């Protein structure tokens, strides 16, 4: 709140003279409002982003008609879903049917309470922050089962059971891997976890105990992906599988609630991952943390979390679905042993005073690795663009947006 006050006061000095309640309302209320709007309206942007990213990866254009370049498409879809009739199939348990999507949303939105957007920009700095996040996300599971049960549809129930089994199975390696940064820091609070990574890119937990923490990062990311029912683990939602998902019987507004919950959970999980491994709201270099009077913490958390959301979308459109028993295999026989080994190894390393702060070469890993990954992605991008241009020149085609080879000369 004081940061906002300082910022606003530098813009409009007259604020200093306002009554206390007005100042509090403005300086505390404004960030809260911004945050609330962000988390409620962000799924609109995610859905649009997902459709556009999917389209570009598949060499097509995606939504283009509703609004310039289709930006209003999600709003149109949301309005359509709102106007659709909310059908209650015969025999459903009305109360549970309605409460189920609400519960799933509660489990998706509540973790926002502890996500730190800045040093003091955090609704509540609970000292059990990480634990709270895991516990609250589990409420969604209850909502899921409720949805399957209330649907009065044995296939929906199957789907809900499988989905619940999936989430619960992946909670365990996810929690174990959460323990790893917690052990390094010694605190469950998300704020403490972030502050322990201060000082620049090389201090982020991703690059400590290299190469142990990257393995932890990947495993946690996979577990998080499975918890959000996202591809390649999206058996419950799969349209082409025989057994329909838990949300089969839902239509209209309730359906949109489930999707809202899914995309929000994607962001929440990405945000938690960035706090744990990627330095939360910290900038890669301390000089970028504050640009003039404007603190940039929120930008960095937002940027990193959205990059992870992008990676989730990227994976969805690349990979096929994993079968249910293979999903369980991955959770129990791959991720769980790795997580256990990680906990033991890192726990041991932390206790030994020589390696309490990481391996000696950790300092030299952060920047080169990041630059390597960024450079590689850049190279592939430039190559792709060059290939396109080369192709068009070779065929001397007039470009009208469809550079299809085989657009035969007349």
Partner 1 sequence: MKQWLEDIWEGFFTVLVGMRITWRHLFTRSVTLQYPSVKWPLPPKSRMRLFMKYEDCIGCGQCVRACPVACISMKTEKRPADAPPIWASTGQPIKLDVTAFDIDMSLCCYCNLCVYPCPTFCIYMTPEYEFATKDLTEHLYRFAKKDAQFLTEDPKSKAAPDTPTAPGGSPPPAAPAPSNPPAGPAGA
Partner 2 sequence: MSAATPGTWTSDWESGSLDTDEMVLNMGPQHPATHGVLRLELRTDGEIVRAARPHIGYLHRCFEKHAENVDYPGVMPYADRMDYVAAMGNTLGFALTVEKLMGIELSPYVQTIRVLMAELQRIASHAVAVGTYTMDIGAFTPFLHLLRDREKVLDLFEWTCGARLLYNYNWVGGVSHDLPDGFVRAARDLLREFDSVTHPELLDLIIHNRIFVKRIANVGVCPPELAISHDLTGPNLRGSGLARDLRKDFPYSGYERYEFEVPVGKGQYGPVGSCFDRNWVRVAEMRESSKIVHQALDRLERMEKTDVHEKVPKRVKPPKGEIYFRSEAPRGQLGFYVVSDGGINPYRVKVKSPCFTAMSAFHHLAKGLMIADVIALIGSLDIVLGEIDR
Out of 2, 59, 325, 394, name the contact with partner 1 by CB under 8 A.
59
Nearer Cβ to partner 1 (337/368): 337
Handedness of CA 220, 57, 279, 230 (dihedral sign): negative
Q: Is 165 in the site for partner 2 (CB under 8 A)?
A: no
From the CB of 54, what's the least distance to partner 1, in Å? 10
Nearer Cβ to partner 1 (36/314): 314
From the CB of 244, what's the least distance to partner 2, in Å? 11
Nearer Cβ to partner 1 (79/381): 381
Q: Is 66 in the site for partner 1 (CB under 8 A)?
A: no
Binding mask 68-107 for partner 2 (x = CB under 8 A): ----------------------------------------
Report how far residue 223's alpha carbon sits from residue 129's, in angstroms, rounded to the nearest whole number. Answer: 19
From the list 28-36, 114-122, 195-203, 310-318, the region that binds partner 1 by CB under 8 A is 310-318
Q: Is 396 in the site for partner 2 (CB under 8 A)?
A: no
Site for partner 1 in 388-407 (CB under 8 A): 388, 392, 399-404
Q: Is 401 in the site for partner 2 (CB under 8 A)?
A: no
**Those residues with Cβ within 8 angstroms of residue 69's Cβ, 6 or more apart along the chain or in another chain:** 63
Residue closest to 31 by CA, chosen among 305, 295, 300, 304? 295
* 3-class SS letters over the chain: CHHHHHHHHHHCHHHHHCCHHHHHHHHHHHHHHHHHHHHHHHHHHHHHHHHHHHHHHCCCCCCCCCCHHHCCHHHHHHHHHHHCCCCCCCCCCHHHHHHHHHHHHHHHHHHHHHCCCCCCCCCCCCCCHHHHHHHHHHHHHHHHHHHHHHCCCHHHHHHHHHHHHHHHHHHHHHHHHHHHHHHHHCCCCHHHHHHCCCCCHHHCHHHCCCCHHHHHHHHHHHHHHHHCCCCCCCHHHCCCCCCCCCCCCCCCHHHHHHHHHHHHHHHHHHHHHHHHHCCCCCCCCHHHHEECCEECHHHHHHHHHHHHHHHHHHHHCCCCCCCHHHHHHHHHHHHHHHHHHHHHHHHHHHHCHHHCCCCHHHHHCHHHHHHHHHHHHHHHHHHHHHHHHHHHHHHCCCCCCCCCCCCCCC
- Give the count of residues interacting with partner 1 (CB under 8 A): 34
Q: CA 351, 353, 354: angle at the middle one, nearest 5?
A: 125
6 binds, among partner 2, partner 1, none (CB under 5 to 8 A by kind): none
Site for partner 1 in 214-233 (CB under 8 A): 218
From the CB of 27, what's the least distance to partner 1, in Å? 41
325 binds, among partner 1, partner 2, none (CB under 5 to 8 A by kind): partner 2
Q: Is 6 in the site for partner 1 (CB under 8 A)?
A: no
323 binds, among partner 1, partner 2, none (CB under 5 to 8 A by kind): partner 2
- Beta-bridge partner residues of 290: 295
Site for partner 2 in 214-243 (CB under 8 A): 231-232, 234-235, 238-243
Site for partner 2 in 276-335 (CB under 8 A): 317-326
Q: CA 133, 252, 306: angle at the middle one, nearest 5?
A: 40
Out of 72, 126, 198, 315, name the contact with partner 1 by CB under 8 A.
315
Contact 85, 252 (CB under 8 A): yes
Q: Is 372 in the site for partner 1 (CB under 8 A)?
A: no
Out of 53, 78, 102, 142, name the contact with partner 1 by CB under 8 A.
53
2 binds, among partner 1, partner 2, none (CB under 5 to 8 A by kind): none
Out of 9, 26, 34, 54, name the contact with partner 2 by CB under 8 A.
54
218 binds, among partner 1, partner 2, none (CB under 5 to 8 A by kind): partner 1
- Give the count of residues interacting with partner 2 (CB under 8 A): 33
Residues that bind partner 2 (CB under 8 A): 54, 57-60, 231-232, 234-235, 238-243, 317-326, 391, 395, 404-409
Residues that bind partner 1 (CB under 8 A): 53, 55-61, 64, 218, 314-315, 317-319, 333-334, 377, 380-381, 383-385, 387-388, 392, 399-404, 408, 410
């Amino acid at each position: 709140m004081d940061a906002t006050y300082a910022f606003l006061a530098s813009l409009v000095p007259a604020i200093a003279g306002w009554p206390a309640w007005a100042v509090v309302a403005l300086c505390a209320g404004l960030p809260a409002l911004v945050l609330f709007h962000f988390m409620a309206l962000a799924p609109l942007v995610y859905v649009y982003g997902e459709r556009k990213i999917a389209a570009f990866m598949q060499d097509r254009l995606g939504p283009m008609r509703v609004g310039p370049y289709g930006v209003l498409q999600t709003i149109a879809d949301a309005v359509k879903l709102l106007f659709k009739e909310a059908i209650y199939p015969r025999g459903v348990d009305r109360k549970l049917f309605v409460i189920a999507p609400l519960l799933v949303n509660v489990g998706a939105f509540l973790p926002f309470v502890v996500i730190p957007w800045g040093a003091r920009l955090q609704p509540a700095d609970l000292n059990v922050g990480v634990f709270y996040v895991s516990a609250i996300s589990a409420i969604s599971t209850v909502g899921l089962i409720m949805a399957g049960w209330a649907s009065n549809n044995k296939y929906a129930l199957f789907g809900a059971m499988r989905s619940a089994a999936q989430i619960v199975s992946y909670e365990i390696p996810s929690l174990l891997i959460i323990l790893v940064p917690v052990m390094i820091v010694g605190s469950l609070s998300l704020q403490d976890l972030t502050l322990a990574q201060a000082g620049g890119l090389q201090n982020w937990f991703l690059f400590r105990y290299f190469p142990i923490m990257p393995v932890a990062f990947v495993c946690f990311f996979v577990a998080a992906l499975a918890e959000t029912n996202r591809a390649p683990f999206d058996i419950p939602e799969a349209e082409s599988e025989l057994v329909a998902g838990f949300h089969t019987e839902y239509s209209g507004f309730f359906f949109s609630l489930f999707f809202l919950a899914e995309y929000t959970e994607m962001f929440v999980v990405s945000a938690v991952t960035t706090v744990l491994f990627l330095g939360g709201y910290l900038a890669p270099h301390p000089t970028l943390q504050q640009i003039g009077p404007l603190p940039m913490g929120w930008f960095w958390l937002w940027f990193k979390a959205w990059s992870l959301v992008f990676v989730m979308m990227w994976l969805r459109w690349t990979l096929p679905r994993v079968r249910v028993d293979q999903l369980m295999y991955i959770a129990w026989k791959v991720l769980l042993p790795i997580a256990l080994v990680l906990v033991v190894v890192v726990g041991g390393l932390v206790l030994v005073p020589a390696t309490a702060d990481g391996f000696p070469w950790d300092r030299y890993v952060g920047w080169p690795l990041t630059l390597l990954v960024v450079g590689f992605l850049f190279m592939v991008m430039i190559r792709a663009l060059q290939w396109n241009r080369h192709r068009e020149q070779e065929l001397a085609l007039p470009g009208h947006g469809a550079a299809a080879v085989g657009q035969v000369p007349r």
